[in-house]
Structure 1
Amino acid sequence: MFTKQSLVTLLGGLSLALAQTSSSEYPSSAEISAAKATVQPYSPVSNVKGLAFNRFVNIWLENTDFDVAAGNENLAVLAKKGLLLNNFWAVTHPSEPNYCASAGGDTFGMDNDDFHQIPANVSTIADLFDTKNIAWGEYQEALPYPGYQGYRYPESGANDYVRKHNPLILFDSVTQDALRLRQIKNFTSFYDDLEHHRLPQYMFITPNMTNDGHDTDITVSGAWTWNFLTELLENDYFTKDTLIMLTFDETDTYEIGNNVFTFLLGGAVPEDLRGTEDDTFYSHYSVIASLSANWGLPSLGRWDCGANLFSWLAEKTGYVNYDVDTSNLYMNQTHWGPLSDDDYSEYYAGWPVPTTEASCSAGNGILSAVKQTYKGLTATFNYTTPFPYDSRSGNNVGVKYSRTLKNGKVESGVSQ
Structure 2
Amino acid sequence: MKLAGIFASSCALLAAMAQGKPVQSEHGHSHGQTGPNGVKYVKGRQFDRIFQIVFENHDVWPVHADPWFGHFWKQDNHRLLGNYHAITHVSQPNYFNMIAGTDFGDNMYNAVNGNPNAMSNLTLLAGSDMPINFTSSALTVVDVLEEAGVTWRAYAEESRNSSQYQNPHHLYTLDPIHQGCDFDYMPGDPDFQWSEGNHTYTRRHFPFVSFPSITSRKERCANLFNADQFFEDYKKGELPQYIYYVPNLENDMHDSNTTYGSEYIRHTWKEIFDSKYFMENALNILTFDESANFTLTDMNNQIYTVAWGSGVETNSAWDHIDWAYYNHTSLISTVEDNWLGKIGQLGTNDTYANVISVKKPRTN
What's the TM-score once normalised by structure 1's chain length?
0.62
Whether the 8 Å contact between 2:312 and 2:360 is mirrored in structure 1 is no
Q: Are the structure 2 counterparts of residues 311 and 59 from structure 1 closer, same or farther at C-alpha, using a change threshold of 3 Å?
A: same
Q: Are the structure 2 counterparts of residues 322 and 289 from structure 1 closer, same or farther at C-alpha, using a change threshold of 3 Å?
A: farther
Q: CA deviation at 1:312?
A: 4.5
In structure 1, how many angstroms separate the alpha carbons of the residues matched to 2:316 and 2:349?
27
1:134 to 137, 145, 150: 150
SS in structure 2 opposite 1:58? strand
Give the aligned partner of residue 334 of structure 2: 290
2:65 to 71, 92, 95: 71
- Deviations 1:290-312 (CA, angstroms, capped at 9, x unpaired): 11111125521110110111235
In structure 2, how many angstroms separate the alpha carbons of the residues matched to 1:229 and 1:270?
22
Q: Are the structure 2 counterparts of residues 173 and 313 from structure 1 closer, same or farther at C-alpha, using a change threshold of 3 Å?
A: farther
Unmatched 5+ residue regions in structure 1? 1-41, 316-320, 324-416
Give the aligned partner of residue 303 of structure 1: 349
In structure 1, how many angstroms separate the alpha carbons of the residues matched to 2:136 and 2:311?
34
Q: Are the structure 2 counterparts of residues 119 and 287 from structure 1 closer, same or farther at C-alpha, using a change threshold of 3 Å?
A: same
In structure 1, how many angstroms separate the alpha carbons of the residues matched to 2:146 and 2:74?
34
Give the aligned partner of residue 90 of structure 2: 94
Give the aligned partner of residue 342 of structure 1: none
Matches within 5 A, 1:236-315: 236-254=276-294, 255-256=297-298, 257-272=300-315, 276-296=320-340, 299-312=345-358
Larger displacement relative to structure 2 (184-193 or 267-276): 267-276
Give the aligned partner of residue 203 of structure 1: 243
Unmatched 5+ residue regions in structure 2? 1-34, 108-118, 120-127, 160-175, 186-190
Q: Are the structure 2 counterparts of residues 242 and 322 from structure 1 closer, same or farther at C-alpha, using a change threshold of 3 Å?
A: closer
Whether the 8 Å contact between 1:153 and 1:159 is mirrored in structure 2 is no
Q: CA deviation at 1:149?
A: 2.3
- Check if 1:172 corresponds to 2:212: yes
Whether the 8 Å contact between 1:174 and 1:181 is mirrored in structure 2 is yes
Q: CA deviation at 1:150?
A: 4.3
- Check if 1:149 corresponds to 2:183: yes
1:53 to 47, 50, 63: 47
SS in structure 2 opposite 1:67? helix
More contact order relative to length (CA 8 Å, sep ≥ 6): 2
Q: CA deviation at 1:64?
A: 0.2
In structure 1, how many angstroms separate the alpha carbons of the residues matched to 2:234 and 2:338?
23
SS in structure 2 opposite 1:164? helix
In structure 2, how many angstroms separate the alpha carbons of the residues matched to 1:172 and 1:163?
15
Q: CA deviation at 1:154?
A: 5.5
Matches within 5 A, 1:13-412: 43=36, 45-81=39-75, 82-111=78-107, 112=119, 113-116=128-131, 118-143=134-159, 144-145=176-177, 146-147=179-180, 148-150=182-184, 158-254=198-294, 255-256=297-298, 257-272=300-315, 276-296=320-340, 299-312=345-358, 323=364
In structure 1, how many angstroms separate the alpha carbons of the residues matched to 2:81 and 2:194?
37
Q: CA deviation at 1:235?
A: 2.6
In structure 2, how many angstroms separate the alpha carbons of the residues matched to 1:251 and 1:128?
28
What's the TM-score once normalised by structure 2's chain length?
0.71
The alignment's C-alpha RMSD in Å is: 2.4
Identity over the aligned pairs, expressed in percent? 30
Aligned length: 277
Q: Are the structure 2 counterparts of residues 131 and 314 from structure 1 closer, same or farther at C-alpha, using a change threshold of 3 Å?
A: farther
Whether the 8 Å contact between 1:43 and 1:183 is mirrored in structure 2 is no
Give the aligned partner of residue 112 of structure 2: none
Q: CA deviation at 1:237?
A: 2.1
Whether the 8 Å contact between 1:280 and 1:311 is mirrored in structure 2 is no
